[in-house]
Amino acid sequence: MTDSAGPLEPETPGARHLGAGVYQLATDYPEVCNAPLWTYLIRDADSFALIDPGVKSTPGATLFSAVRELGLGLDGAQSLLATHGHPDHSGGLTEWKAAAPGASIAAPLGDAPWVESFEKQWVQFWDDYPGTLDLSGERRDYEELCVPEPRVDELLRDGDLVAVGSRQLRVVETRGHTWGHCAYFEEATGFLFTGDAVQGRGVRSSDGDTMFCPMYLNAVEMRAGLRRLRDLPFTMLCPAHAEPKGREDGLALLDASLAFIDDVDALTRGFVDECGDDPVITGELCARIAALVGAKNPLAPQVVTTARAHLYLLAREGRLDAAWLSRDVAITVPAHHGAHHVH
C-alpha cells in the first residue's frame, strides 16, 4: 500500500487526511439539506475509491476540486461505493461515472434496486406511510438529489472484498437503516466506514436549530448490525454524518446508538401501555420520539420510519394488532413542519 500524498502536506481545503491514505472530503450537503455529510476517499498511489459521493450536485460542487487538489486525476477513480441507496449516499454516482467512465459503481445487493431506480425507492420507502406522512408534494425535490440514476456495475454481498489498487475493503452487511445497508472495513489499517449505521442519539442540523432522529426500518436488524460493527477490531470509525472517531470514541458512539434503540423501545412500550384499549396512533408516538431526540419536526421521515419500526416489532411480538381506522375517527397527529433531510 502506498500513501503518495506526502507526509508534510497531506491536507487541502477540501480534504482532511486521516492517515494511511484515507481522506475525509467535504460535501455541499449542509447547504443543500442542512445536515453534515462526508465522503471518504481511500488512496493507493494514483488510484482511489470513493465512499458515498453525496447527492447529484456534490461531485461538481466539492469532490472534483478536492480530488484535483490532492494531485489526483478524476479518472483515477477505481471504485465508486455506496453504503446504501438513499440519495445522499448514491446521488453523486452518475456524475462521477461520467467523469470517470472506467470506474466501477458498487452497491450492496439489497439496496442496488434503490440506487438504480428512484421510482422503486419512492414506492417502497418515501411513499409508504399512509395516514401519517405524505411527501408527494416534495417528490421533485427528492428526485433532483439523485436522478438520473446510475447502473450498478458490482453487486456486493457480505464478506466480499473490494480492491483499491493493492488495498482491500471488506463488505460488512449491517442492514437496519435500509434493507441492504453495508459498511466497509479495511483490516490492514483498521479504518471502518459505516455510512448511516452509526448515528448515536441523532445528527444535529448544520444550522444547529434541530436534531435529525436516527432512522431505521427494523429495530432488530439495526441492533444486530451495530453489534457486528462493535466486534470489529477497528482503529478509526468513519460515519457519514459525523466526524471520524478513534477506537475509544467510536465504541462510545456505537454504544450510544445501541442505547438509543433501547430507549425508543422502552418509550414505545410505555406509550402502548398508556393507550390501553384505545388506538395506538403512529403520529402520537412520533411526537414522543421527536421530543426525546430534540427534533423540531415530529413527522420528519427519520422519526416516522423509526416509530413504525418499533410498532412493527411489538406487532410481531403479538402486543399490537394492525388495523385501519376510518377517516371519521378523531385522531391526534402533530403538525407538519417544513423540509426533510434525507439520511
pLDDT digits (tens), the chain, 343 positions:
334 333 434 567 899 999 999 999 999 999 999 999 999 999 999 999 999 999 999 999 999 999 999 999 999 999 999 999 999 999 999 999 999 999 999 999 999 999 999 999 999 999 999 989 999 999 999 999 999 999 999 999 999 999 999 999 999 999 999 999 999 999 999 999 999 999 999 999 999 999 999 999 999 999 999 999 999 999 999 999 999 999 999 999 999 999 999 999 999 999 999 999 999 999 999 999 999 999 999 999 999 999 999 999 999 999 999 888 776 655 555 554 444 444 5
Per-residue confidence (pLDDT) for residue 218, from 0 to 100: 98
Per-residue confidence (pLDDT) for residue 315, from 0 to 100: 95
Q: How far apart are the first and last CA of the chain?
A: 33
- Residues 320/272, Cβ–Cβ less than 8 Å: yes
Q: Please state the pTM of the whole predicted model.
A: 0.93
Distance CA 154, CA 49 (A): 14
The C-alpha cell at 197 is 449505521
Place of cell 472484498: 161
Distance CA 149, CA 313 (A): 33
Distance CA 37, CA 96 (A): 17
Per-residue confidence (pLDDT) for residue 323, from 0 to 100: 83
Per-residue confidence (pLDDT) for residue 324, from 0 to 100: 80
Is 151 exposed, middle or buried (CB count within 10 Å of its CB: 0-12, 13-18, 19+)?
A: exposed
Q: What is the DSSP string of 124-171?
A: IIIT--TTT---GGGHHHHHTTTPSPPPPSEEE-TT-EEEETTEEEEE
Q: Are strands 191-195 and 203-204 parallel, antiparallel or unpaired?
A: unpaired
Instruction: Indicate the DSSP class of residue 12.
Output: B
Domain locations in the chain as residue ranges:
15-258
Q: What is the DSSP string of 211-229?
A: EEPP--S-HHHHHHHHHHH
Per-residue confidence (pLDDT) for residue 334, from 0 to 100: 57
Per-residue confidence (pLDDT) for residue 7, from 0 to 100: 40
CATH no., domain 15-258: 3.60.15.10
Q: What share of the chain is helix, strand, coil (3-state, %, to 5)?
A: 35, 20, 45
The C-alpha cell at 266 is 422502552
